[in-house]
Amino acid sequence: MKIFIFAALLALAVAKNFRVKKDNKTCALLSLDGNLELTASQNASQVGKEDLPFSGATLIADSTCKLIKLNLSKSAQVWFQFDNDQQNWKVTPVSTFIPEQVFGDAVNDTTALVLNAKPLEVFPMTSSYLCKSSAQLNFVPRTEPKDYNFTVTATINNFQIQSLNAESFSTKEKECVADTKPKDYECKSGNKTVIMMEGNFTLDISYFKEEGGKVQNVTKTIIVPAPENATTEGSCDVKATTQSLSIKFFDTWAINFVFTKKDSSYSVTNTSVVYTFDDNLPGHNETGSVTVNFAFSNDYLKASADGYYICNAYLNNTKNGVTLSSKNFKYRAFDENGKGFEGNVSECSADEDTSSVVPIAVGAALAGLVVIVLIAYLIGRKRTRKTGYESV
């Protein structure tokens, strides 16, 4: 059922394509999904709201190779205007609409409003611009309207645009910054990713909290930011036998890992947590930073040199009132050949226990089937005996 719903959602999320032609040749292409949300307010109270999906948009006939105009319903339009910026395109999103036609009688205003959003990142004229990540375009009126305030925001996903004589999108794509943000905590040596780590980390920190004149020993759970919202640094020379990775967040906080290679395997030999008494620990009565070191024996999170380590179950380490936990943890270090998460997998024992559930279930089902067939056979044999037919 879950899979079915997921598939249905995927099908809905297929981007809509638009094609501008000149002399029967395609000269501009646009693909996107998402919606345009418009609200009208007067004296700080909302008087109208509309949500128009791009899936219902059509290309306006007077679009040109340098101005793609989309018609959403109710007179609302979204344009993408191409301007030269040396060898690049600068694309400015524009929105225009007639308030009364969008919001109905509640908004008594029939003058067309024109609004601009910030230009997209510039991209070479010979490329397309691609942004799969969700982005918001906030449109601001060119001239402030008198009687109403409007907010116009487009949420766009799977966006791709180009202005170039071509039937399809150029294979040269300029990816948006959001798409190129790392999905992993990683360390690169040159252009090689030598350490890769994934996981959902939390810190449970116990500290003294002052509130209403009382001081209490409390525990605060901190969710460590995902790779795109953290800074990752490391030391990962391919030839070294010790490498390290630091996940830095909240300006001064960090989780550090030290990896050591030995013969045909590597492992985590040291992890440390650095936290600061700051706004993330409200009501703290102390100041400064604290470092907690977890030193491990050589085999902790041990992986084969030609593979990686995985532990989907919780991995928790507690010391000095700090618990570092991970879930869906995965890492590889000393990756000289850029294999990433490929090759020999080393799993934590907790995962092996859960992954044996499936084989046991399959085995039980097969055993059950054998019993049923046997019973059916025996009953069948009894019946054939009774009817006098020859038995096999």
Ligand X SMILES: *[C@@H]1O[C@H](CO)[C@@H](O)[C@H](O)[C@H]1NC(C)=O
| Chain positions contacting ligand X, by CB under 6 A | 23-24, 41-43, 60, 71, 73, 105, 108, 147-149, 190-191, 198, 200, 202, 204, 206-208, 215, 217, 226, 228-229, 256, 258, 270, 272, 285-286, 293, 295, 314, 316, 321, 325, 328
Residue with Cβ nearer ligand X (40 or 303): 40
Question: What is the residue type of 359?
Answer: P
Distance CA 348, CA 300 (A): 10
CB 31 within 8 Å of CB 20: no
Q: Of 248, 293, 289, nearest to 271 (Cα)?
A: 293
**Least distance from C-beta 87 to ligand X, angstroms?**
23
**Least distance from C-beta 377 to ligand X, angstroms?**
48
**Least distance from C-beta 374 to ligand X, angstroms?**
43
Q: Which two tokens stand for residue 196?
A: 């890769």
**Least distance from C-beta 8 to ligand X, angstroms?**
22
- What is the DSSP code string of 163-221? ESS-SS--S-EEEPHHHHS-SSEEEEETTEEEEEEEEEEEEEEEEEEEETTEEEEEEEE
- What is the DSSP code string of 25-54? EEEEEEEEEEEEEEEEEETTEEEEEEEEEG
**Least distance from C-beta 111 to ligand X, angstroms?**
11
**Least distance from C-beta 82 to ligand X, angstroms?**
20
Cβ-count burial of 20 within 10 angstroms (0-12 exposed, 13-18 middle, 19+ buried)? buried
Residue with Cβ nearer ligand X (89 or 203): 203
Residue with Cβ nearer ligand X (75 or 125): 75
Question: What is the residue type of 280?
Answer: N
Residue with Cβ nearer ligand X (297 or 387): 297
Residue with Cβ nearer ligand X (134 or 384): 134
Residue with Cβ nearer ligand X (2 or 386): 2
Q: Indicate the helix (H) or strand (E) that contains 350.
A: helix 349-355
Residue with Cβ nearer ligand X (1 or 61): 61
Distance CA 42, CA 27 (A): 42
**Least distance from C-beta 346 to ligand X, angstroms?**
19
